[in-house]
């Protein structure tokens, strides 16, 4: 079995010697994964390259934002389009002023072995023109495809530095030193990193964790408009329409169920929120039951506060005592008193007042709807009653002309005398 040769661009020095600490934000991971997905689905040519924005305070670096870059070919090497990159970088700096962000490195797709010679021109360009201590974030798609849920992130962060050429050559190999020739070679070291999440980023992370929420396109069209558009003028089509209307009148619940199959965006968000709260309550209930079962199965000496010798021996198997868990439970019980308000009477009074306000608003809404329904019923009754009065008066007068003393609405002598 052949053993893969070590990557000559990877330094043999320990990464702990530099003392560099990197804090990676989830928003950068979302941006990189989105760019790689679009690049793959669109079958675009060329490498995946982007810039990393963050803050650098001494040996502490934060990676907070990222954006993709436009590449150009110069002297058979793939480098950044300098004009476009400088304009884009300035735009990102103008947007992210508080806190002020700057270029801290770049990212690309790398094999598991590390950077390759094709990545050196871009890295040297960034080192010479923008940041002398730029880092490289390498994303490994093969590790992402084969990795399991909850495993290590498929990425590696590298720090670059110039090392003496003789350190990278084989031991015992003689090399002639020439005047003016650089004896330093660019090498990369793997850096440890930690993931930091802000409150604003939790919204995006939660959105992605729930599967995109409402990002899935829903076809809101139904069959009813299609039937109306394709309704023919023949009796056959009218018969079908009448049959469908008759079936809807016979089974109104089925038609309502069909209309309610497609939920609005607000309904989906409400269902997702209620589901998350229900799952949280179920988890809390399960954890409380677990603590209760653990405490019930402890030896009697820990529950009844008695001497172990005074307890009668039994065949029951008790839970092994873990003092660390018991201290955590005691700390939890101690914190529960902080959740209870100091003035319980005032708290109950305020809670009752808010509940009464909610019930009052609900009652007023019901009364308003009832008054609206009564007014609508009265209006309809007045219209029907007026039509009945006109019809009965016409029947008593003996014709549509309103009697012998009037003709076509014109008053006569009989009308004046009466």
Could you give the CA distance from residue 391 to residue 397 in angstroms, rounded to a whole number? 10
Q: What is the mean pLDDT of the chain?
A: 77
Asked if pLDDT for residue 245 goes beyond 60, the answer is no
**6-59 confidence digits (pLDDT tens):** 888 888 776 555 678 899 998 899 899 889 989 988 888 889 999 999 998 888
Answer yes or no: is 149 within a domain.
yes
Can you give the residue range of the structural domain that contains 123?
15-168+184-207
354 or 248, which is more confident?
A: 354
- 302 shares a domain with 192: no
- 362 shares a domain with 327: no
Could you give the CA distance from residue 50 to residue 65 in angstroms, rounded to a whole number? 10
Domain count, the chain: 3
Angle at alpha carbon of residue 186, lines to 126 and 166, rounded to 5°: 165
Could you give the CA distance from residue 115 to residue 136 in angstroms, rounded to a whole number? 9
Could you give the CA distance from residue 63 to residue 193 in angstroms, rounded to a whole number? 10
Its sign, for the CA torsion 184, 187, 193, 198, is positive
Answer yes or no: is 414 within a domain.
no
**311-325 confidence digits (pLDDT tens):** 566 667 788 888 888
- 118 shares a domain with 49: yes
- 201 shares a domain with 93: yes
Burial of 159 from C-beta contacts in 10 A (0-12 / 13-18 / 19+): buried
Domain boundary among 324, 340, 356: 340
Give the confidence band of 417 by pLDDT, cuts at 50, 70, 90. Answer: very low
Secondary-structure breakdown of the chain: helix, strand, coil percentages, each rounded to the nearest 5: 50, 15, 30
Answer yes or no: is 233 within a domain.
no
- 49 shares a domain with 162: yes
Burial of 301 from C-beta contacts in 10 A (0-12 / 13-18 / 19+): middle
- 294 shares a domain with 195: no
- 155 shares a domain with 302: no
Which region among 44-58, 243-257, 340-354 has the lowest average model confidence (pLDDT)?
Answer: 243-257
Asked if pLDDT for residue 372 goes beyond 70, the answer is yes
Selection from 139, 121, 133, 193 nearest residue 162 by Cα: 133
190 or 215, which is more confident?
A: 190
- 315 shares a domain with 194: no
Answer yes or no: is 196 within a domain.
yes
**200-224 confidence digits (pLDDT tens):** 777 777 776 665 544 444 444 444 4
Tokens of 296: 């019930």
- 86 shares a domain with 32: yes
CA distances to 106, 115, 187 from 112, in Å: 17, 9, 16
Mean pLDDT of 190-201: 84
Chain-centroid distance of CA 214 in Å reads 10
- 96 shares a domain with 59: yes
- 156 shares a domain with 58: yes
CATH of residue 124's domain is 3.40.140.10
- 141 shares a domain with 76: yes
């Amino acid at each position: 079995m052949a053993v893969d040769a070590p990557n000559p661009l990877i330094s043999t020095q320990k990464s702990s010697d530099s003392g560099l600490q990197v804090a990676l934000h989830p928003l950068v991971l979302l941006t990189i994964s989105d760019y790689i997905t679009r690049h793959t689905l669109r079958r675009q040519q060329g490498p995946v390259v982007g810039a990393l924005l963050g803050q650098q305070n001494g040996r502490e670096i934060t990676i907070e934002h990222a954006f993709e870059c436009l590449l150009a070919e110069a002297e058979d090497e793939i480098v950044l389009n300098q004009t476009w990159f400088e304009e884009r970088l300035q735009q990102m700096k103008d947007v992210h002023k508080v806190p002020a962000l700057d270029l801290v490195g770049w990212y690309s797709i790398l094999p598991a072995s590390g950077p390759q010679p094709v990545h050196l021109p871009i890295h040297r360009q960034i080192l010479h023109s923008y940041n002398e201590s730029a880092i490289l974030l390498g994303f490994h798609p093969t590790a992402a495809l084969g990795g399991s849920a909850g495993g290590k992130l498929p990425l590696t962060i590298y720090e670059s530095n110039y090392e003496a050429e003789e350190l990278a050559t084989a031991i015992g190999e003689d090399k002639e030193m020439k005047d003016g020739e650089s004896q330093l070679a660019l090498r990369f070291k793997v850096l440890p990193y930690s993931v930091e999440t802000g409150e604003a980023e939790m919204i995006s992370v939660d959105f992605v964790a729930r599967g995109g929420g409402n990002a899935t396109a829903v076809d809101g069209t139904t069959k009813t408009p299609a039937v109306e558009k394709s309704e023919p003028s023949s009796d056959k089509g009218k018969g079908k329409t009448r049959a469908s209307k008759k079936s809807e009148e016979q089974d109104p619940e089925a038609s309502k169920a069909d209309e309610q199959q497609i939920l609005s965006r607000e309904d989906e968000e409400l269902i997702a929120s209620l589901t998350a709260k229900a799952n949280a309550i179920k988890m809390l209930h399960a954890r409380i039951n677990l603590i209760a079962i653990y405490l019930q199965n402890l030896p009697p000496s820990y529950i009844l506060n008695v001497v172990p010798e005074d307890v009668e021996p039994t065949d029951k198997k008790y839970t092994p005592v873990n003092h660390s868990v018991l201290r955590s439970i005691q700390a939890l019980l101690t914190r529960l008193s902080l959740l209870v308000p100091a003035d319980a009477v005032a708290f109950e009074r305020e809670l009752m007042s808010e509940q009464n306000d909610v019930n009052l608003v609900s009652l007023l809404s019901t009364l308003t709807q009832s008054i609206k329904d009564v007014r609508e019923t009265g209006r309809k009754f007045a219209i029907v009653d007026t039509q009945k009065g006109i019809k009965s008066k016409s029947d008593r007068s003996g014709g549509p002309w309103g009697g012998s003393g009037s003709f076509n609405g014109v008053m006569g002598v009989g009308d004046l005398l009466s």
